[in-house]
């Protein structure tokens, strides 16, 4: 039984001194859907709970990931087209940020979900990718797209903070041109930051579900060097964005509460004043999108962040390590976050719902007009 359980864990890396690379041996066990279901449902009491949970998550992924890909790509494309029409009642500045966030999410779905996780999950059908010499390029693009997706959320949060809390800067910063400059800068910095993986990872794939899915150059794999670089990578994304989003939202909420109380007291002293305050209602609607997007990001990224940082702490000497299924759950929630913004816009923005409805009805209307012509 101990030998069987050993095959369920991650493969142990072996060093090929002649090639100067870290050679990760592919697991030879059956990774079909039936294998993961049997792991979860087995009545063998010797199978640890952690392996049973991992089996359950893997079985769910066999169905969930293809559905997520089928839904995520068209949903983000439709969102981009709908927002780009600029008929959603949003300012040009806000529209730029939301479009950029949707583009970032779309790239993550393609580069991470479709080109990484699905081939790993259905690896018996994707062994041909082992012969494709582009893994390090794929890694650079994937991590750059992930950084952009995360930091676009931060820049949008900061833009709304300035618009609500800093009226003197609003006219200068909250403009379409400033948004384009900020988004372009974030994109360039994200690409530059992740170029390092082109030199630390080889161009060969490894069909293993770990954060680094390429074979790695052995010369740079001194434990402390690798751990420090990886730790810094996760600190910058998503730990720093977590802190910034929470801080900016806390300051925004504090400003709104203070200004709203002052405005209500002022209106209370005016006789015959309409109890409805359009300014407060408009402000409330504008911050709903901000807070829901921020909460969505924090909730769905939290487990992945905790696993990534905690495991790097283990490499630095801390003895407690999280179970492998925590990473699987983190991946699932992180990828889900790339498909939720459309639902957020549809729930919180009336005009977005209307434009989305018009866009979806357009093909049917065109077909009906052709048939009646």
The residue range of the domain holding 116 is 58-265+279-357
Lowest mean pLDDT among 14-23, 107-116, 140-149: 14-23
**pTM as predicted:** 0.84
Nearby residues of 369 by Cβ (< 8 Å), 6 or more positions away: none
pLDDT number for residue 40: 81
Q: What is the mean pLDDT of the chain?
A: 81
CA distances in angstroms from 325 to 34, 48, 124, 367, listed in the order given: 18, 12, 21, 48
Q: Is residue 315 part of a domain?
A: yes
Sheet hosting strand 21-23, strand order edge to edge:
14-16, 21-23, 214-217, 201-205
Nearby residues of 85 by Cβ (< 8 Å), 6 or more positions away: 355, 359
Q: Is residue 37 part of a domain?
A: no
Taking only the tens place, the pLDDT of each residue in 261-283 is: 776 666 665 655 555 666 666 66
pLDDT > 90 in the chain, percent: 34
Q: Is residue 48 part of a domain?
A: no
pLDDT greater than 90 at residue 260: no
pLDDT number for residue 18: 35
Does residue 288 or residue 171 have the better pLDDT? 171
Does residue 280 or residue 349 have the better pLDDT? 349
Q: Is residue 239 part of a domain?
A: yes
CATH of the domain at 140: 1.20.1070.10
pLDDT number for residue 16: 37
Q: Is residue 177 part of a domain?
A: yes
pLDDT number for residue 317: 66
Q: Is residue 243 part of a domain?
A: yes
pLDDT greater than 80 at residue 29: no
Taking only the tens place, the pLDDT of each residue in 203-229 is: 999 877 676 788 888 766 566 777 778
64: closest CA among 303, 297, 331, 326?
331
**Counting beta carbons within 10 angstroms of the beta carbon of residue 276, is it exposed (0 to 12), middle (13 to 18) or buried (19 or more)?**
exposed
Q: Is residue 270 part of a domain?
A: no
Mean pLDDT within 139-163: 94
Task: Domain count for the chain, please give it.
Answer: 1
Q: Is residue 298 part of a domain?
A: yes
């Amino acid at each position: 039984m101990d030998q069987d359980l050993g095959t369920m864990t991650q493969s142990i890396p072996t060093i090929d001194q002649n090639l100067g690379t870290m050679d990760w041996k592919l697991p030879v066990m059956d990774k079909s859907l039936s294998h993961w279901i049997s792991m979860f449902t087995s009545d063998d009491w010797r199978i640890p709970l952690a392996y049973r949970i991992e089996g359950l998550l893997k079985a769910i992924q066999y169905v969930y990931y293809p559905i997520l890909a089928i839904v995520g790509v068209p949903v983000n494309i439709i969102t981009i087209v709908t927002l780009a029409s600029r008929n959603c009642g949003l300012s040009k500045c806000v529209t730029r940020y939301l479009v950029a966030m949707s583009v970032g999410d779309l790239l993550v779905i393609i580069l991470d979900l479709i080109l990484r996780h699905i081939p790993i999950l259905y690896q018996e059908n994707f062994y041909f990718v082992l012969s494709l010499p582009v893994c390090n390029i794929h890694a650079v693009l994937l991590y750059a797209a992930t950084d952009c997706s995360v930091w676009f959320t931060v820049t949008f949060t900061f833009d709304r903070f300035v618009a609500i809390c800093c009226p003197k800067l609003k006219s200068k910063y909250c403009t379409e041109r400033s948004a384009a400059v900020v988004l372009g800068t974030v994109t360039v910095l994200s690409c530059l930051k992740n170029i390092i993986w082109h030199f630390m990872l080889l161009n060969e794939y490894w069909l293993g579900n770990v954060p680094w899915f390429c074979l790695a150059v052995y010369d740079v794999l001194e434990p402390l060097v690798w751990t420090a670089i990886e730790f810094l990578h996760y600190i910058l994304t998503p730990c720093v964005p977590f802190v910034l989003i929470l801080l900016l939202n806390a300051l925004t909420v504090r400003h709104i509460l203070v200004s709203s109380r002052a405005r209500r007291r002022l209106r209370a002293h005016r006789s015959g004043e309409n109890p409805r305050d359009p300014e407060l209602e408009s402000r409330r609607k504008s911050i709903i999108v901000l807070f829901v997007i921020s909460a969505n990001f924090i909730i769905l990224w939290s487990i992945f962040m905790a696993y990534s940082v905690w495991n790097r702490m283990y490499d630095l000497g801390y003895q407690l390590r999280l179970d492998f299924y925590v990473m699987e759950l983190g991946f699932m929630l992180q990828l889900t976050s790339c498909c939720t913004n459309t639902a957020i816009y549809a729930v919180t923005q009336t005009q977005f719902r209307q434009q989305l409805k018009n866009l979806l009805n357009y093909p049917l209307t065109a077909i009906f007009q052709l048939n009646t012509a």
